[in-house]
Every structure is written in structure tokens, then in C-alpha cells.
Amino acid sequence: MDTPAYNNRLLQLMSHDDRAALGTLERIVLPMKQRIDGAEDAKFVYFIEVGVASVIADVDGKMAVELGIVGPEGMVGLGAVYGDSVDPFQTVMQVEGSAIRADAESVRRAVAERLELRAVLLKFARAFSIQVSTTALANGRSKLDERLARWLLMVADRAGPTFSITHEFISVMLGVRRSGVTLAIQILEGKHFIRATRGSIAILDRAGLTAAANGAYGFAEQHYARLLGEPV
Amino acid sequence: MRYFFHYRDAERYFADAEGTDLNDLETAQSEGRLSARELLGSERAESDPDFLAGAYEISDADGMLLAVVQFDETEPKVR
């Protein structure tokens, strides 16, 4: 077969012809902290193969909080699916990796012309909006340690069980004080759910961590599986 | 200056090895109170009693104790 192996769920779900309609697909390396949103002029769409991107609402540099995260289960640049060329939010690589990059204009055109392609990408758009909704729910109703457990599970789903991350970065993403993140990490570590070393975290007990999330983790993931199947 | 927020209750002690750069001790105490509120959440009855009775011991980089912030003396988070 001439089908190249892509480590991205959406590309895997597309037919060969639909993938070809996306135009030139370029595999690119994405270092940590790399911005991959298009701001005023979204030129590219990214199908992530390795790593994790954070979608961050940052209004005039004053209020920043993470809205959602994307890894090999999804894409960055959903504006192209909606026919929009402006990206209102920042997207930054929080765990380094790589992606298949496509031209946003080609994707917009392909989505307008191809029914099955549109269906796959709209299903992801739906799954992502459900994820963002559960982030809003967690931010409003869950305690810091529950939100931390949810966030660690979501990153591990996309990056694997061990990843590099600082307490400071987690505190910015969750919109809370760094001191509370350091304490909550030590409490989870005391329960043997995670192992934290300077600058990195390893998930040891997914079930324990899921229980610690107290309902904040799992809902969005079930809906993703319903819409798109089990992610890679 | 760098301030460290160590946690202590009847059962546990967790040292803060990271620290946070803040302007002065007053800001550090305010930071400690806000952090405690975030940890306790809006439903305090659901928090474990040890945690609610816990405190941040704020120190400098040399470990000198500068202030104590009791978790149960912070205002509940407004919904």
C-alpha cells in the first residue's frame, strides 16, 4: 500500500484521497515553547504526531489561562475547518514533538469540497469543544489538586506517562499560585500516584490519579472515543 | 526576594524546594493566603480536616521562618 504511517488520529481516519486533498503535508519538528497558532493570519494547520500543545487564552497579556490541550489525537488550526483565518487564542508547545503541517487555505478548500473529510474534522472540533467545556467546569468547580490530577492525566494521554514540566508552568496553565501546585504534587506523590523529580513527572497509578480528579477527568475523553474512537 | 512555602499540619510536612520570587513578605503572605484558598476550594466541608488545619510556613532561601499562614484563617473562595 502507498499509505504512509501517520501517528495522528485524524490523518489515520482520512481516506487517501482526502489526505491528498489537504495539499503538501510536511513533517516538522516543534520545540518546546514554539508558538503554532496563526494569530491574525493562520497560514498552517498542524496535525500533531508527537508532543502536546496548549491552547491559551491570553487577553492583552493580562489574563492567561489554558483552555485545552492537543496532541496526536487532534489538530491545531481549527479555524480552517470553520472557514476562519483568524486565530483568537495562542497555541504553544508544552511538550516538544513534531507535526504534519498543511497549508490552511488548502485545508479550508478541501473541507468545503469533501464531505467525509469535513465529517472527520468537525468531529474533532466537537470533541475539542467538549474538552474546553470540561476545563471551564473544572476551573469553576474542582479544587486545585483535582484539577492538577485531571491535567496530568490529559498530558500523559498525549505525551506518555513521563514528561518534562515545571511547577511554574503548571501554575500558569491552571491559573493558580505556584506554591499550591508544589504542595498538591507532593500530596499526589505521597499517595504514590505520581513520581516527581526536578523538572519532570511520571504517572505511576492512572486509576488512583483518576479517582483523585474526582470526576474532572474522563467525561471529555469518553466523548472523544465516541466521536473518533480510541486515540493513538 | 525568593520565598518558600512549606506546608505543615498534624500529620504531614512538605518542604517547598522551588520557591517564588516576590517583592516583600507582605506580598508573600498574601500569596500564601490566595494559594490556601485555591487548595481548599469553595466547599470546605469536603476538605480533609488535617488539611484545613494546616499552615504555610514561609521562609527565605536559608530556611529562616518569616511568617505562618493558617489555612483555616483564610476567607473562603467566592463563587
Q: Over A79-118, what HEC string results?
A: HHHHCCCCCCCEEEEEEEEEEEEEEHHHHHHHHHHCHHHH
Any chain B CB within 8 A of the CB of A167? yes
Tell me what the mean pLDDT of segment A206-210 comes to.
97
Full-model pTM: 0.92
Residue of A nearest to B2 (CA): A179
Task: Find, among A174, A177, A175, A183, the residue nearest to B34 by Cα.
Answer: A177
CB contact under 8 A, A176 and B40: no
- pLDDT tens digits for A51-105? 999 999 887 777 788 999 999 999 999 999 998 888 889 999 999 999 999 999 9
Terminal Cα distance for chain B, rounded: 32
Cα of B78 to nearest chain A Cα, Å: 11
* Phi, psi of B66, rounded to the nearest 5 degrees: -110, -30
Provide DSSP, chain A: ------S-HHHHHS-HHHHHHT---EEEEE-TT-B---TTS--EEEEEEEEEEEEEEEETTTEEEEEEEE-TTSEE-THHHHT-----SEEEEEEEEEEEEEEHHHHHHHHHH-HHHHHHHHHHHHHHHHHHHHHHHHHHHS-HHHHHHHHHHHHHHHH-SEEE--HHHHHHHHTS-HHHHHHHHHHHHHTTSEEEETTEEEE--HHHHHHHTTTSSSHHHHHHHHHH-S--
- Across the interface, do B41 and A180 touch by the CB < 8 Å criterion? no
With beta carbons under 8 A apart, name residues in chain B contacting A168.
18
User: Is B35 close to A145, i.e. CB distance below 8 A?
Assistant: no
Q: Quick check: B18 and A145 CB within 8 A?
A: no
Residue A37 has pLDDT above 90, yes or no: no
Distance from the Cα of B1 to chain A's closest Cα (Å) equals: 15
**A179–B35: do the CB atoms touch at under 8 Å?**
yes
Q: How far apart are CA A128 and CA A149, in angstroms?
A: 19
In this prediction, residue B79 has a pLDDT band, given cuts at 50, 70 and 90, of very low
| pLDDT digits 0-9 by tens, B2-18 | 999 999 999 899 999 99
Per-residue pLDDT at A209 exceeds 60: yes
Q: ipTM of the assembly?
A: 0.89
A122 touches chain B (CB under 8 A): no
Determine the pLDDT at residue A22.
96
Residues A154-175 have pLDDT tens digits of 999 999 999 999 999 999 899 9
Q: How many CB pairs under 8 A join A and B?
A: 53
Of A140, A141, A180, the CB nearest to B38: A180
- Nearest residue, CB atoms, A183 vs list B7, B41, B46: B7
| pLDDT for A26 beyond 70 | yes
Tell me the pLDDT tens digit for each residue of A107-148. 999 999 999 999 999 999 999 999 999 999 998 888 899 999
d(CA A130, CA A223): 8
At residue B61, what is the residue type?
A
Contact A47, A6 (CB under 8 A): yes
Q: For residue A171, what are the contacts with CB-CB under 8 A and spacing of at least 6?
A: A177, A178, A180, A181
Element (H, E) at B26: helix B25-40
Decide if B64 touches A, using CB distance below 8 A: no
Amino acid at B21: D
* Nearest by CB: B39 against A167, A168, A180: A180
Q: What percent of chain A has pLDDT over 70?
A: 95
Per DSSP, the three-state class of B33 is helix
